[in-house]
Amino acid sequence: MSSETSSEENSPLLKNSINTSGKVPVSDNEMGMIKPNEEPKVAGLFSSISNLSNGCMGAGILSLPFVFSGVGWALGIILLILVGFLSWGSLQLLMIATTKAKIYEYEELAKYAWGKKFGIFMKCAIFGLTLSASTTYLIIIGDSFPVVFKNFAATEHSILTSRTFVCLILMCFPIFPLMNMRKMDHLKFSSSLSFVSVCYIVLILIISFPSINLHFTSHPIYAFKWDYVGILKGIPILIFSDSAHIVSLSVMKEFRNPNRKRITIASSSTMILCNLMYFVASFFGFFTFGADVQGDVISGYPKDKLSIIFARFVLSIGGIVSIPLFLFVARASVNVLFFRNKPFSWVRNGLISLGLAVIISVLALTVPQIQLVADFCGATFCVATIYIAPGFIYLKVCTKKGETKKKIISWFYIIFGFCAMIVCTTMVIITKVLKKD
């Protein structure tokens, strides 16, 4: 089978290819990658905003109320706005560089800017991010489905209420067959369903707020809680929730008339919409439980309440269809790193998928809360893809000699990203791994 056939599998996002020098982008027509029946750029502004929002919002929203409990509700709002603004800025840099280079795949854009090693670095970062996102969803599934089964279809001691059994059986079917699909197009519906499930969770937080009156008897409520540990633990979760950068380039590939104004409108609308949802979830989730809010806000609600049971079910379904999407990208990263020039093989495809399924199953059954995954992923992989890489790419692709302002912006994101990664990762290790809260 030809190398063109294998490239379709190895490239998880729509992209333009580059030549072997890694410097001059080559069009899809020149590489023979556009098929006669391939559709042109038809995505409008609304469609692009919708797709970006689908890629941004996910399971991390459940941990945002926990951030407010560590820093206070007013400081939490300030940090939410600050991190959202910085993420919006870096998304602008990435999209401007993409438009100029005409390359619509993150890893290839990194390779075009700084060479093969930086492209490999981005592959590893995206692999870690997608693996972490898959793990958070499987944790949610393991926590939610047993509760649903217990209330509707099983006794308390049934095997269906076992977290381990539920995770493993759902991983075998339907998650594993879905993640073995060869084309990403077959999984497009999953991001929309996941987005709808998150919207429903936010609605439940709003509706349940007046009906659950805890009076905050355990701990007082602070507007500002100047605890550096709480701040450094909260920032990675906020960063984890703003990770739309990976999907942004594939959205740009299908964006009709991608000029600077339309790009700014699409990215700005997406960040405003997502952060508005984050604010609502954080506010109502925090003021429902106060300082006692847990890392997964849904776990604090009554397990026998019908609306909460249905919320768990909807979120679990969203996770079931989202995990294959994330693992598709992870598998493609493995293929590019180790089997780039080899033709597509269903055997290799299945073995890589099996290995990924085993990894996230072990992680999900070992890690007790999604908050820990969000902490570590936000401090490492997300910082690399949201701040460090866009800064480096913009610096190389878009700045010229004498353009001091652009260079300052690039270096700000690079330095901020490395500082955030070092400090926040250290704090996660100290407070979580070493258990020194």
In a domain, 16, yes or no: no
In a domain, 28, yes or no: no
| CA–CA gap between residue 31 and residue 101 (Å, rounded) | 16
In a domain, 103, yes or no: yes
The whole-angstrom distance between residue 219's C-alpha and the CA centroid of its chain comes to 32
Q: At what angle do helices 73-101 and 106-114 cross, to 10 degrees?
A: 70
Q: Please write the tens of the pLDDT for every residue from 329-387.
A: 888 888 878 887 888 888 998 999 999 999 999 999 998 788 888 889 999 999 999 99
In a domain, 118, yes or no: yes
With beta carbons less than 8 A apart as the criterion, state whether 364 and 163 touch.
no
pLDDT confidence band for 35 (50 / 70 / 90) = very low
- The SS3 of residue 183 is coil
Answer with the residue of higher pLDDT: 197 or 210. Answer: 197
In a domain, 37, yes or no: no
With beta carbons less than 8 A apart as the criterion, state whether 145 and 316 touch.
yes
Q: What is the average pLDDT score of the chain? A: 80
Q: Which of 149-163, 185-199, 394-408, 420-434 has the lowest mean pLDDT?
A: 185-199
For residue 380, the 8-state DSSP code is: I
Measuring CA to CA, how many Å separate 119 from each of 53, 125, 285, 289?
A: 26, 10, 39, 44
With beta carbons less than 8 A apart as the criterion, state whether 214 and 290 touch.
yes
Measuring CA to CA, how many Å separate 70 from each of 58, 75, 201, 421?
A: 21, 10, 22, 19
Alpha helices, DSSP H only, in 209-243? 228-241
Alpha helices, DSSP H only, in 228-305? 228-241, 245-253, 260-289
What is the pLDDT, as a whole number, of residue 40?
53
Q: Domain total for the chain?
A: 1
Q: Give the structural domain span for 246.
A: 49-433
Q: Which of 82-86, 274-278, 319-323, 384-388 has the lowest mean pLDDT?
A: 319-323
Amino acid at 413: Y
Q: Please write the tens of the pLDDT for every residue from 293-304.
A: 888 888 888 877
| CA–CA gap between residue 90 and residue 47 (Å, rounded) | 21
Which CATH number characterizes residue 162's domain?
Answer: 1.20.1740.10
In a domain, 4, yes or no: no
In a domain, 36, yes or no: no
- Report, as an integer, the average pLDDT of 86-114: 90
In a domain, 31, yes or no: no
| CA–CA gap between residue 364 and residue 351 (Å, rounded) | 20
| CA–CA gap between residue 316 and residue 152 (Å, rounded) | 15
Percentage, residues of the chain above pLDDT 90: 30
* Kind plus residue range of the DSSP H or E element containing 17: strand 17-18
Query: Checking DSSP bridges between strand 17-18 and strand 25-26, what pairing results, if any?
Result: antiparallel
